Amino acid sequence: MTDSKLDVSNTSNSDAQSYRTQAYQLLEGHSDISIVAKSINLFLIILIISNVIAAIFESESNYHEQYLIEFAVFEFISLSIFCGEYLLRLWCCVEAKEYAHLSHSKARIRYVFTAMALIDLIAILPFIIAMFFSIDLRSLRLIRVLRLLKLTHYFKGFNIFISVIAKELKSITAAMMVMIFLIIIAASLMHAIEGEIQPDTFGSILQSLWWSVVTMTTVGYGDVVPITALGKVIATVIMLIGVGLVALPAGMLAARFGEELRERKENLDYKIKGALTDGFINQDEYQELAKLADKLEIDQHDFQRSIAQLKHGNHHEKCPHCGK
């Protein structure tokens, strides 16, 4: 009798794990061959974009008054779906490889504080706030627009961008700090030179900061301009400095993007070479390499081309043992 109960318990746990694994694969997009997974992802992408469009149109008072009920129903349905998705991701996140060494409770706690989970939480924040406070959801429109961030789940190119920003954060921060210093110095100079002549626009360093930012970034609205000869000379120097300084972070990011893509390609090639040591790639090895290519966000065509090139090159290499 006891053995029978244990069998039932084990069967239940096995079924739950199977469903959890399937849910994880569907939500995280690992089942690329599955039409169901693609349909779910497409539906959620359309829902996110529709929510942002609804929030934009609802900000227009005429549309808000005319379609008040429709907007409210759509928001309720969207929030219900997003809440269900969040809870489902929280339930099945334990299937992720990075949490394999943790207990289910610890894995879920760690997942809650990841960037992706926090973005999902922002999406359902209006619902959570409305549960505890009586508040007009229109005042939470900014939070609703931030649902665009949920698209990072489905467009993996965002991960490369985030990775590049993280790796170049110190350099970009240094460049931004230099720019801030120069903006303050430029504002102080223009206040000293133009302050008495144009007290309305350069009467203080705080007032001069607007002109300094606009000039340093080479935007040049033209609403505030120096009128003295010395002021114009300083403005010219600041503009010339600004051209190079503003372009500096962009150049850093562009260079880092190239390095990041090359490093990922080299990483994949190294793994492919390892799989080709016996002369061919079996089905299991191919699946692992395909997952790695997907994780590294390398295009499927580039992945296949790398395999073909390395396989061709492998045939021309001599064996270190027999020399053939």
Instruction: Kindly report, residue by residue over 64-104, the tens digit of the pLDDT.
Output: 889 889 988 998 899 889 999 999 999 988 888 888 888 88
Query: What range does the domain containing 124 cover?
Result: 2-155
Please count the residues of the chain. Answer: 324
Q: Which residue has the higher pLDDT, 219 or 162?
A: 219
- Domain end position, chosen among 155, 180, 205: 155
- Measured between alpha carbons, how far is 276 from 17 in angstroms, rounded to an integer? 34
Domain with 50 in it: what CATH number? 1.20.120.350
164 belongs to a structural domain: no
248 belongs to a structural domain: yes
On whether both 65 and 199 belong to a single domain, the answer is no
Instruction: Kindly report, residue by residue over 50-64, the tens digit of the pLDDT.
Output: 988 988 888 888 888
The answer, as to whether pTM is greater than 0.85, is no
- Domain end position, chosen among 126, 155, 184: 155
The average confidence (pLDDT) of the chain is 81
Instruction: Kindly report, residue by residue over 224-251, the tens digit of the pLDDT.
Output: 899 999 999 999 998 888 888 888 888 8
On whether both 20 and 147 belong to a single domain, the answer is yes
- Domain end position, chosen among 122, 155, 188: 155
Q: Which of 188, 185, 214, 215 is nearest to 202 (CA)?
A: 188
On whether both 147 and 251 belong to a single domain, the answer is no
Instruction: Kindly report, residue by residue over 211-225, the tens digit of the pLDDT.
Output: 999 998 888 888 889
Instruction: Kindly report, residue by residue over 248-307, the tens digit of the pLDDT.
Output: 888 888 888 888 888 888 888 888 888 887 777 877 777 778 777 776 777 677 778 888
DSSP alpha helix (H) spans, 195-228: 199-202, 205-216
Task: Report the amino acid identity of residue 275.
Answer: A
Task: Please count the structural domains in the chain.
Answer: 2
- Measured between alpha carbons, how far is 242 from 302 in angstroms, rounded to an integer? 39
